Amino acid sequence: MTPLPPSEVEPHPWRGLAWLTRRECHRVLKLWKQTILAPVIAALLFMVVFGLSLGNSITEINGFEYSVYIVPGLIAMAMAQAAYSNNSSTIFQARNDRYLDDILSAPMSAWQVHLGYLVGGAMRSLAIGGALTALALPLTGVPISHPVELIVAVLLLTTAFCALGVIVGVYAQSWDNQSFINNIVILPLIFLGGVFYSVSRLGSPWEQISHFNPLFYVVDAVRFGFLGASDVAPLVSLSVVGVITLLLLAWSQYLFSTGHRLKP
Amino acid sequence: MTPDLASRSPAALGIKGLTKRYGDGTLAVENLDLEVPAGSFFGLLGPNGAGKTTLIGAVCNLIRITSGEVSVFGNSATSMKARRMIGIAEQEPNLDKFLTVYETLLYHGGYYGMDQAEADERAGQMIDAFDLSDKRDVEAPKLSGGMRRRLLLARALLHRPNLVILDEPTAGVDLELRHELWSYIRKLHEQGTTILLTTHYLEEAESLCDEIALISGGRIIARDSAEGLKRSHGAETLEQVYLKTVAGGRIGLAAEAERQARSRDMDPMDLGDEPE
């Protein structure tokens, strides 16, 4: 076959962004049992097991049955973990196997590459959140009291954990590093952030200490969106989550803009 | 390309004062100047660690340079336009493990700005050109070494770049495939594509390249046509030039004697088979 001469076509960076986003979604859907089904089943088991086992002994929290009260926190936890683990693993794998080079050398700007990876993780996180919400509504009767605040909280939560995943994926030296952050940092902080209880029940000083846990505000903001009940004012929790999101986004964008640890 | 046209066109690759010092303090390339004319078939030869891959990384936006300027057809190497003009086949297969052969090519076309129909058409053309039809729906990790090499080259050429950089493209490739690949690359060059080749196979460089630069210790130490290099160094073969210049003559005689002894019962194409 005779090769064609060089093309004079101008670069289309927006198309590059669209294709990178598509590639990330393609990866999520190709591994759907692992990326979507497993986290949904795990969160459902939490709802059923904890709701049934503790539901009889804890009558209600803030006016809600225990099986209903834990739903928003469990959905937030599943979404946060999915966003984080998706982006940390996809970036680390691309770095480790060096196929990231094909993207870094392509005519796309740093923010477009960054955004492409963020959207992939967000798609996975939102798919899990949507599936869990659809299942939890008939199972537990959880209400959606403030849909606008819920959407804002979920978007901030997803973006923050996608950016955190990018950061860890860029710095990680091994698979152990990224699972370490998930198991030793994110999961305990989410549990201690009031997924299964209201921190107002802890009493002083643990209630005050809980307010230094950033993930408490993530859980509380999502809970307000669902139940209309929260431990702090929704404006406070959304503001804290917003600031955290901006800081993490700025950090992950810095990594792509400078090539720090992505390029030797 | 005619000399007149070449003199009017910006260089395919212009490097001025390129220096790269890695984080551990290693000075890989120091104040390097290099100009590769548009339309040329240019060879870059040097031992492992000479700075070839660093230089390629600087051109392809894959390393952070310490200082200097790199331009591609007159555009800064970091610009979108320059990146669109470069196609690179790296030495180590770096293929996306989640994608099939077809998807690898399709997505690469997309990253380089093609729409679905265009990327699909080009992917099909490259699959045919590189005889990958039987492996179209096979994922990259399941391909043999030779098939991966074909796919790397197909990916590098898919978006029809003006400057193709081939970093040891035939390392570990059997003779038959090597001839097929070079036949295709030659045709590509005849169509006007500039080729920058690094290889350990000196015979390949001698037969393919219009011009050759020898790099050692992060500096260009000689540059000319293969004949010019042999003439100016009083050598009969390019290998002798390489050993005299790159090895500084220290191991030249011993290595040449060893080579002659080995060449009696070895394929001369095995030269430089050690991994980078």
Q: Which two tokens stand for residue B227?
A: 């004949």
Position B247 confidence tier, pLDDT thresholds 50, 70, 90:
low
pLDDT of residue A8: 66
Whole-angstrom Cα distance, residue A147 to residue A153? 10
Q: Is residue B136 part of a domain?
A: no
pLDDT of residue A9: 64
Q: Is residue B131 part of a domain?
A: no
What Å distances lie between residue B269 and B43, B49, B171, B175, CA to CA? Answer: 17, 21, 10, 9
- Which residues of chain A make contact with B152, given a CB cutoff of 8 A? none
CA-closest candidate to residue B194, choices B92, B80, B88, B51: B88
- Which residues of chain A make contact with B157, given a CB cutoff of 8 A? 3
Whether B141 contacts chain A with CB within 8 A: no
Q: Which residues contact B259 (CB under 8 A, 6 or more apart)?
A: B239, B271
Q: Give B122 to chain A, closest Cα distance, Å.
A: 10
CB atoms B80 and A13 under 8 Å:
yes
| Domain around B238 | 3-95+143-270
Helices vs. strands in chain A: H and E counts, helices first: 12, 2
Whole-angstrom Cα distance, residue A12 to residue B159? 12
Q: Give B35 to chain A, closest Cα distance, Å.
A: 20
Q: Which two tokens stand for residue A42?
A: 């795990």
Closest to B162 (Cβ–Cβ): which among A6, A18, A27? A6
Give me the total of CB pairs closer than 8 Å, taking one residue from chain A and one from chain B. 131
CA B110 to chain centre: 23
Q: How many Cβ atoms sit within 10 Å of the Cβ of residue A30?
A: 14
pLDDT of residue A4: 67
DSSP string, B61-104: T-S--SEEEEEETTEETTSHHHHHHEEEE-SS----TTSBHHHH
Whole-angstrom Cα distance, residue A21 to residue A119? 6
Q: Alpha-carbon Rg of chain B, whole angstroms?
A: 19
Helix axes A110-140, A147-171, angle to 10 degrees: 130
| Helix, strand or coil, per DSSP, at residue B29 | strand
| Helix, strand or coil, per DSSP, at residue A11 | coil
CA A222 to chain centre: 12
Q: Is residue B70 part of a domain?
A: yes
Closest to B83 (Cβ–Cβ): which among A12, A99, A106? A106
Closest to B111 (Cβ–Cβ): which among A20, A94, A263? A20
Q: Which two tokens stand for residue B212?
A: 């050759």
* Domain count along chain B: 1
Q: Give A106 to chain B, closest Cα distance, Å.
A: 6
Whether B98 contacts chain A with CB within 8 A: yes
CB atoms A22 and B107 under 8 Å:
yes
Whether B182 contacts chain A with CB within 8 A: no
Whole-angstrom Cα distance, residue A169 to residue A88? 4
ipTM confidence score: 0.89
Closest to B62 (Cβ–Cβ): which among A10, A15, A263? A263
CA-closest candidate to residue B169, choices B180, B54, B161: B180
- Which residues of chain A make contact with B110, given a CB cutoff of 8 A? 15-16, 18-20, 22-23
CB atoms A93 and B97 under 8 Å:
yes
Give the tens place of pLDDT for each residue, B61-101: 999 999 999 999 999 999 999 999 999 999 888 999 999 99
CATH number, domain of B22, equals 3.40.50.300
Looking at the predicted structure, is the pLDDT value of residue B186 above 60? yes
Q: Give A116 to chain B, closest Cα distance, Å.
A: 11
Instruction: Name the pairing type of β-strands A60-61 and A64-65.
Output: antiparallel
CB atoms B192 and A107 under 8 Å:
no
Looking at the predicted structure, is the pLDDT value of residue B272 above 60? no
What Å distances lie between residue B176 and B172, B180, B223, CA to CA? Answer: 12, 6, 30
- Which residues of chain A make contact with B83, given a CB cutoff of 8 A? 11, 105-107
Looking at the predicted structure, is the pLDDT value of residue B6 above 50? no
Q: Is residue B133 part of a domain?
A: no
Tens of pLDDT along chain A (264 residues)?
567 667 766 767 789 999 999 999 999 999 999 999 999 999 999 998 888 777 777 778 888 999 999 999 999 999 999 999 999 999 999 999 999 999 999 999 999 999 999 999 999 999 999 999 999 999 999 999 999 999 999 999 999 999 999 999 999 999 898 889 989 999 899 888 888 888 888 888 888 888 899 999 999 999 999 999 999 999 999 999 999 999 999 999 999 999 999 999
- Residue for token digits 């390629």? B56
Position B273 confidence tier, pLDDT thresholds 50, 70, 90:
very low
- Which residues of chain B make contact with A6, given a CB cutoff of 8 A? 85, 160-162, 191-193
Looking at the predicted structure, is the pLDDT value of residue B263 above 60? no
pLDDT of residue B3: 46
Looking at the predicted structure, is the pLDDT value of residue B5 above 80? no
Which helix (H) or strand (E) element contains residue B44?
A: strand B41-45
CB atoms B84 and A26 under 8 Å:
no
Q: Give A158 to chain B, closest Cα distance, Å.
A: 24
Whole-angstrom Cα distance, residue B132 to residue B56? 27
Whether B247 contacts chain A with CB within 8 A: no
Whole-angstrom Cα distance, residue A33 to residue B17? 52
Position B244 confidence tier, pLDDT thresholds 50, 70, 90:
confident
Q: Are A82 and A125 in contact (CB under 8 A)?
A: yes
pLDDT of residue A6: 74
Residue of chain B with shortest Cα separation from A97: B94
Whole-angstrom Cα distance, residue B225 to residue B149? 28
pLDDT of residue A2: 66
pLDDT of residue B248: 60
Closest to B62 (Cβ–Cβ): which among A27, A94, A104? A104
